Structure 1
């Protein structure tokens, strides 16, 4: 180390540049002579940097400063490609990368992305009112750069915003049984059963898209969920497993809607033994775009603008919880899993599913009975007036 007596450093060197600043040079572990990736205002600062770098090398904590000279967009794209993601998750990540990460970081090298830059980028998204998008995009950015740290391309992850990836989604509405029945009426005979299964049986849209005749057992009053077919924004249906490990499950059919199943199987389902339960008028698998137009029209007529088909699950879950079923049985009924699922999850038995479906059916019967009674009273009054 250089000192006041003028002796040369035993490791590395410092020289003064024409600009007046100081440059530090050192031999890397690979034997190559390298310059520090910054210059220093004083010789003492350069000397201190060399001491820290030598310590890092001795502790095997040194990172090649050129390792991070990797284009972020190329690295992030490869990061997504290398993961076995569910189709909808893969589509989401690529959309977030294309629309929200690439414009800011796409041309940057990994080592050039800084914490202040990340904070400014996220703050801009939040200011635009895109809080949920900001949280999703931030989580993706953080995950990509955390892998870059593991790959020893950068020393530290610049995503250090506490709670930056936390979503605070608005509480979704819960439709009443009466509203569900009204929606089903407005959707028409071909799609009524889908509304009932999405609500009273709490099935996900992608699960409904792949239910087949062979999955329906009206004797035991059970529908077996074995597959899912989410539809991407491109219109492509991707056949695969349900959303979670708990997704493959039997779901009880409330007795009150068994006649609806019988009617649907007779008139609207595909005729093959293993045919789809829900198909369009021309016999093809139903499309989200076509169904969506009818759904938006129906909900608007009821003053339920913004109510999503997926929100029907909340109605079914609330009804199921009201039957007194255990938490484990409710998780099985809803197809929910968790980190601890391997320890606590057990498939629900047919008896437990019957208990849940009977409880839901009782609630539906009550509302339907009231509707029929009201309709009968109205008809009787009209007859008397005509007389």
Structure 2
């Protein structure tokens, strides 16, 4: 590595002893730093106007190469938008997750950071992005975008040696208030059931009585219901992504593949539905095993009137009028019936593990983080347990 003065030659005047001027004297940047890229063995150069800047760059290159932290300065000239596009295409995501990641980058990251060279993005830019998005996103959504997309993207840029360090350091996000879900009353659940067209009514009881997600309900096949054992099995989910018809995909997590006990109300509703709405198997793509996708006839329990799978765009037009007719809050969805199911178990005395398995959560921690505020009288229960173990006394000890 070396710093060269491009305005002067190494050769000196034979009379004065002064260095001779080069042909480019007074034109362009004067100082050049030379080094060898340790990854490729190729010569690299960078030009500077001031000697101090050139010396600093030379020292940094020397230190980075010595520590094994060298990053080619040219690699960081790629814009955030271009790198983000490259990065997301390498991710091993399900199609629905890939579609969501693309949408997050396009809507929430590119408008603020898109045209900046990735190596020039600093923590101040990220703080500016947070400030810009605060007015547009709920705190919980902003946190998901930050930790779910932005932080991994910059971590990948470091691993790819596009940048030396991630700018996602010392970033403060808005606080997230404890989630408060609207828990429907039993009469509201029944009212919602009655407000739907007859062919869709059992969906309400399946969500409220078994805690199933929407995709699990719409992907339910008739042979997954065992009325003798009073069980219904989650084998897959119906997935909808842009540009293709709905298809069967693996459940959301490994623990989402489960068998739920079938309450009598749900069983009767499903039995009546199967007898009333007889369907013919419909050809559908089955990617439950991503390594061996097939196309096969699926005998779905819930379909549109023409027998085809229910698309989420169609469902919203069916669901919203029923929510309004039942007097439920705007935005009330199948996920809220899933919350209803969880709280029924919790207030019925079910422990965390039971609720986790019934809901198909990945771990008990997910269940606790979601519903910890709904376990009834938690403080009183704790106090009672301690009193039972240590003995209750009416005497309050005084400090000394």
What TM-score results when the alignment is normalised by the length of structure 2? 0.73
What is the rounded CA distance, in whole Å, between the counterparts of 1:283 and 1:331 in structure 2?
34
Q: Is the 8 A contact 1:12 1:27 kept in 2?
A: no
The 3 A distance-change label for structure 1 pair 274 and 306 is closer
The 3 A distance-change label for structure 1 pair 116 and 264 is same
- Structure 1: which 5+ runs fail to align? 1-9, 342-387
Give the number of the structure whose residues are more often strand, by fraction: 2
For 1:239, the equivalent position in structure 2 comes to: 248
Residue 84, structure 1, aligned to residue 92, structure 2:
yes
Deviation at 1:62, TM superposition (A): 2.1
For 2:239, the equivalent position in structure 1 comes to: 230
Deviation at 1:231, TM superposition (A): 2.3
Deviation at 1:128, TM superposition (A): 3.6
What is the rounded CA distance, in whole Å, between the counterparts of 1:56 and 1:82 in structure 2?
27
For 1:311, the equivalent position in structure 2 comes to: 336
For 1:62, the equivalent position in structure 2 comes to: 70
Higher mean displacement: 177-186 or 72-81: 72-81
Residue 275, structure 1, aligned to residue 275, structure 2:
no
Secondary structure of the residue aligned to 1:194 is helix
For 1:215, the equivalent position in structure 2 comes to: 224
CA deviation vs aligned residue, 1:98-123 (integer Å, no higher than 9, x gap): 22222333333322323222221221
Deviation at 1:277, TM superposition (A): 0.7
Deviation at 1:159, TM superposition (A): 2.2
Residue 148, structure 1, aligned to residue 148, structure 2:
no
What is the rounded CA distance, in whole Å, between the counterparts of 1:48 and 1:18 in structure 2?
22
CA deviation vs aligned residue, 1:307-351 (integer Å, no higher than 9, x gap): 12221100001112233333222211111113999xxxxxxxxxx
What is the rounded CA distance, in whole Å, between the counterparts of 1:109 and 1:44 in structure 2?
24
- Map residues 253-268 of structure 1 onto 2, 5 A cutoff: 253-268=262-277
The 3 A distance-change label for structure 1 pair 269 and 179 is farther
For 1:366, the equivalent position in structure 2 comes to: none
What is the rounded CA distance, in whole Å, between the counterparts of 1:79 and 1:244 in structure 2?
24
What is the rounded CA distance, in whole Å, between the counterparts of 1:39 and 1:286 in structure 2?
65
What is the rounded CA distance, in whole Å, between the counterparts of 2:198 and 2:227 in structure 1?
19
The 3 A distance-change label for structure 1 pair 269 and 74 is farther
Q: Is the 8 A contact 1:177 1:315 kept in 2?
A: no
Q: Is the 8 A contact 2:353 2:364 kept in 1?
A: no
Residue 183, structure 1, aligned to residue 192, structure 2:
yes
The 3 A distance-change label for structure 1 pair 20 and 151 is closer
For 1:105, the equivalent position in structure 2 comes to: 113
The 3 A distance-change label for structure 1 pair 146 and 241 is same
What is the rounded CA distance, in whole Å, between the counterparts of 1:167 and 1:24 in structure 2?
50
Higher mean displacement: 269-278 or 118-127: 269-278
Deviation at 1:168, TM superposition (A): 5.2
Q: Is the 8 A contact 1:71 1:109 kept in 2?
A: yes
For 2:46, the equivalent position in structure 1 comes to: 35
Deviation at 1:156, TM superposition (A): 1.1
What is the rounded CA distance, in whole Å, between the counterparts of 1:142 and 1:318 in structure 2?
34
Q: Is the 8 A contact 1:14 1:46 kept in 2?
A: no
Secondary structure of the residue aligned to 2:299 is coil
What is the rounded CA distance, in whole Å, between the counterparts of 2:246 and 2:153 in structure 1?
28
CA deviation vs aligned residue, 1:175-203 (integer Å, no higher than 9, x gap): 11211111001113211110001111100
Deviation at 1:45, TM superposition (A): 5.6
The 3 A distance-change label for structure 1 pair 202 and 45 is same
Higher mean displacement: 104-113 or 56-65: 104-113
For 2:182, the equivalent position in structure 1 comes to: 173
Secondary structure of the residue aligned to 2:237 is coil
Deviation at 1:235, TM superposition (A): 7.0
- Root mean square deviation of aligned Cα: 3.0
- Map residues 305-384 of structure 1 onto 2, 5 A cutoff: 305-338=330-363
Secondary structure of the residue aligned to 1:68 is helix
- Structure 2: which 5+ runs fail to align? 8-24, 282-296, 367-400
1:298 pairs with one of 317, 322, 340 = 322
What is the rounded CA distance, in whole Å, between the counterparts of 2:2 and 2:274 in structure 1?
82
Secondary structure of the residue aligned to 1:284 is coil
The 3 A distance-change label for structure 1 pair 57 and 285 is closer
For 1:372, the equivalent position in structure 2 comes to: none
For 1:162, the equivalent position in structure 2 comes to: 171
For 2:379, the equivalent position in structure 1 comes to: none
